[in-house]
Amino acid sequence: MPRHFSFWLLIGLIGLFGLLFFHVIKPFVLAIFIAVVLTVLFSPLHQSLTQIMSGHDRIAAGVTTGLVMIVVLLPISVTLLMAGNQVTQIGRDAVGWFDGRSGDALDETIEKLEKSTVGSAMNRVYRKLDPPQRQQIQESVSRISDGFTAELYDKTRGLISNIVTFGIGLCIMALSFYYFLADRELFTREVHRMMPLENEEEQRLFDKFQRVCRGVVLGTVVAGVVQAALTGLALAVLGVPNVWLLMVVTMFCSFIPFIGAAAVWGSVATWLMIEGDFVSAIGLAIYGAALVSTSDNLVRAYVIGNQAKLHPLVALVTVLGALKLMGLWGIFVGPMIAAFFYALLNIARDRVVRQQQQQQDGDDLATTRISA
């Protein structure tokens, strides 16, 4: 068999089985990726525990995994669970309203809206319309409400049905996190052996990945949690309902450039103004602009520093594109992919420049010998 044919046959088989392997692990790729990121973030803790436990890597890995799952993931899971319960309750209330099973609640809501300043203005404009225009508006509102009710019910039911899938993914993530810590040297050595790059280039990639993980993930999460806590505190003081849900929404909105937590506290302030509570609305707006949104820049500057700065346009495009492609986790994955791609481009550029410099040095040496 010709050597070139066997080589390309080997490449084809590698591509075929690599594609099959990817499809096998595809449901858990995100969980494994999160485990890799957690390994980068908490490897210093694992190393400290290993020294305390006289070099027992696996015991230290188990303790680290347990601590991370309890201290970090448990509060997040409880918060999401409480927010999910509030979403479910809102969905049930909405279905009851639009199905006519909660007529009193709907009448009360309409009465409050009519008494508000904005509601009174809308009511006056509505009464000036011709009967055909009123009928058209009523039909449009009815279609929108029916579609909203069906969509909200489907999403709520889908959220409940995905609990089992979420639990399996969480177990895979925990196991992957444990083995990445316990066998970190083995995995690192195999990756170095398989990558067709020079040692210096591989080290640059590893350093870049670690900086991006610590910068983007840790900085983004800490800033989001701080803004969510500050927003939740203000909303609880003002007596706004569904505080847990609004805190979760605030945290996720804070991850998106140019939108941030202002999308939540601004909307709530507008709602308070519609309700006629102008003092609370103005106070929340001042509090949100002066403290909540400002804390984002302060926390990011303190946590991230210069580790993983991205241009705002690049950050916005990568976050929105990754959100559409892979859901909420794209908020973290998008900027990391962009930074990693930029690092690869720099490595390729340095290699080309180095080769050109070597060729130029060789030509100069040859010219010198000919002249001599």
Task: Tell me: pLDDT of 63 over 70.
Answer: yes
Task: Tell me: pLDDT of 64 over 80.
Answer: yes
Q: State the greatest distance between any 2 C-alpha atoms of the chain, in Å, as a whole number.
A: 103
What's the pLDDT at 43?
A: 87
Mean pLDDT of the region 293-318: 67
What's the pLDDT at 319?
A: 74
Q: How many CB atoms are located within 10 Å of the residue 321 CB? A: 14
What's the pLDDT at 118?
A: 54
Classify residue 72 by its DSSP letter: I
Q: What is the pLDDT of residues 108-127, one digit of tens each?
A: 555 555 555 555 656 666 56
Task: Tell me: pLDDT of 244 over 70.
Answer: yes
| Inter-residue contact 254 to 224 (CB < 8 Å) | yes
Mean pLDDT of the region 10-36: 87
Q: Which residues contact 210 (CB under 8 A, 6 or more apart)?
A: 40
What's the pLDDT at 106?
A: 47
| Inter-residue contact 223 to 251 (CB < 8 Å) | no
**Average pLDDT value for the chain:** 75
Which amino acid, residue 103? G
Range scoring the smallest mean pLDDT among 10-14, 156-160, 274-278? 156-160
Looking up tokens 């707006």 gives: 285
Stated length of the chain? 372
Q: What is the pLDDT of residues 1-19, one digit of tens each?
A: 566 777 788 888 888 998 9
More confident residue, 100 or 309: 309
Ordered by start, the domain boundaries in the chain are 27-194
Place 175 in a pLDDT band, splitting at 50, 70 and 90.
very high
What's the pLDDT at 166?
A: 72
What's the pLDDT at 185?
A: 84
More confident residue, 188 or 108: 188
Q: What is the pLDDT of residues 192-228, one digit of tens each?
A: 777 777 777 777 777 777 777 777 777 777 888 888 8
What's the pLDDT at 76?
A: 66
Place 103 in a pLDDT band, splitting at 50, 70 and 90.
very low
Q: Which long-range contacts (CB under 8 A, 24 or more apart) does 23-26 make?
A: none
Query: Of 155, 149, 157, nearest to 94 (Cα)?
Result: 149
Q: How many CB atoms are located within 10 Å of the residue 102 CB? A: 17
What's the pLDDT at 3?
A: 64
Mean pLDDT of the region 276-305: 78
